[in-house]
Amino acid sequence: MSGANRMPIVSSVGAKELSRTIASFVLIGVISWIHVLPPQVDPRQTINISRYGALAGVLKVIKPDQINRIVVRSPSWVGDAVMSLPALHELRRIFPKAHITVASRTGTAGVFIESNSVDDVLIQDRASFLSTFGQVSEWKRRQFDLAVILQNAFAAAATAFLARVPLRIGYGTERRSPLLTTTLPLPAWKDKRHESFYYLNIVAELERMFFGSDSIVKTDPVFDLPVSEKRKNSARRIVIDQRASPSKPLAILCPGSVNSRAKRWPAERYAELADKLIDAGIDVALIGSPAEIDVSLEVCGFAKHQPMVLTGKTSVAEVVALISIADLLVTNDTGPAHIGAALEIPTLVIFGPTNPLTTHPLSSKAEIIRHPPDCAPCMLRDCPIDHRCMTAISVEEVFQRAMAIMEKTSAQVFG
């Protein structure tokens, strides 16, 4: 299937398949508790390359053209899912004829639904005892040849193991190495390079295994995040229904963050920024997940002009489409930052407690703003002192930087 015509099919699997044997059911529980079963080595899997040590007897019988069905377990968070897109792009390059399925949570599936690197998306939400059982059955039914485990969780590797996927590759996190046929150590550079290389490194290892060399880590990451015109038109209708003017620029603000309160620039400052943008003739919309609605309402409470509130009202797929039609995105270091960068939308990311070396937005149209005190990056979810890394960033500075990014992009388009 050519990249231009490839459109992922989205399906789901839950905990419905209760007709399987009690023995398999118990096995899942045993693995989940003890984390130490030996890998299920399929006799087809032999690859003979000395550099793989214990795997020397597991490499080389399978040829690249025998990898027909691949499953990729995606990361759990939206930003991480976006940063895994370059790995999917490279996986498609080295296995151009394979059918690639992304197994993803509902919350991240919207990142992959139109990817040229993906054939279908299998929705698999947070693993419980029963849902893992259903997932294993579905993976078995699909007869995958290779499982690429991008997610660090134990359950992701256990699912591939129990489904008897012949080749299973991922990092040896959470004591899951025995469940993988190829285990990678955490890279020494993990906290010094962009997170996208963390996922690319897994695919680079596959390229070395099958082809004896790799070019992946030497090239710039490619973010494949297409948005169809149909989805863009739907996004335009969403903002028009919220009284946005088709003739005005659209700025999107993301004042929340699900997994860290410390990453949030103060709500009153987002409110003042929204007022300044509206006074400048720009429509403003707030986005975020249902868990971030309180932050958006707090912003509205401080604001003189009321922005559009889309927080909690849109899916991830709709958020991607909304950002794709925006003229500006201002956000904390959270998922939308990476969406904006992947879409080449003018993006300004406000950094505080997190490490920009690993999570900065990779785009020529994206910038970060940061005034780190001595304690940054602390990576804490709640600031134990006075949140100085965020309060040091003024509204005026963010506003001026945001306007400059918009103007620069306009000059590139029309100049």
> How do residues 69-119 score in pLDDT, each as one tens digit?
999 999 999 999 999 999 999 999 999 999 999 999 999 999 999 999 999
Determine, yes or no, domain membership for 88.
Answer: yes
In a domain, 3, yes or no: no
> Of 183, 218, 253, which one is at a domain's C-terminal end?
218
Q: Which of 164, 183, 218 is the last residue of a domain?
A: 218
Helix (H) or strand (E) holding 298: helix 293-302
3-state helix vs strand vs coil in the chain, percent to 5: 40, 15, 45
User: Average per-residue pLDDT in the chain?
Assistant: 86
Q: Are residues 109 and 203 in the same domain?
A: yes
Domain-located, residue 35: yes
Q: Indicate if 189 and 254 belong to the same structural domain.
A: no
Does the residue 73 lie in any domain?
Answer: yes
Length of the chain, please? 415
Identify whether residues 114 and 157 lie together within a single domain. Answer: yes
For residue 284, what pLDDT is reported? 98
The whole-number pLDDT of residue 204 equals 94
Q: What is the mean pLDDT of residues 131-138?
A: 86
Q: How far apart are CA 189 and CA 197, in angstroms?
A: 10
User: Is the CB of residue 325 less than 8 Å from the CB of residue 249?
Assistant: no
113 within domain boundaries: yes
Pair (54, 191) in one structural domain? yes
My answer on whether 143 and 172 are in the same domain is yes
For position 117, which CATH number holds? 3.40.50.2000
Looking at the structure, tell me whether residues 210 and 295 fall in a common domain.
Answer: no
Range of the domain at 385: 229-414
**pLDDT at residue 271 tops 50:** yes
Residue 37 belongs to a domain? yes
Backbone angles phi, psi at 102, to 5 degrees: -100, 120
- Residue 42 confidence (pLDDT) above 60: no
DSSP 244: -
Q: Mark whether 207 and 290 lie in a shared domain.
A: no
Question: Domain boundary at 199, 218, 237, which?
Answer: 218
Could you read off the pLDDT of 222-267 as tens digits, one per residue?
998 999 999 999 999 999 999 999 999 999 999 999 889 999 999 9
How confident is residue 64, by pLDDT bands cut at 50, 70 and 90?
confident
Integer angstrom CA distances of residue 328 from 208, 222, 369, 410: 40, 22, 15, 11
Same domain (yes/no): 272, 141: no
- The whole-angstrom separation of Cα 256 and Cα 293 is 8
Task: Write down the pTM of the prediction.
Answer: 0.86
In a domain, 154, yes or no: yes
In a domain, 59, yes or no: yes
Residue 211 sits in the same domain as residue 254:
no
Grouping H, G, I as helix, E, B as strand and the rest as coil, residue 44 is coil
Q: How many domains does the chain divide into?
A: 2
If asked whether residues 193 and 300 sit together in one domain, one would say no
Q: Are residues 126 and 263 in the same domain?
A: no
- The answer to whether residues 179 and 245 belong to one domain is no
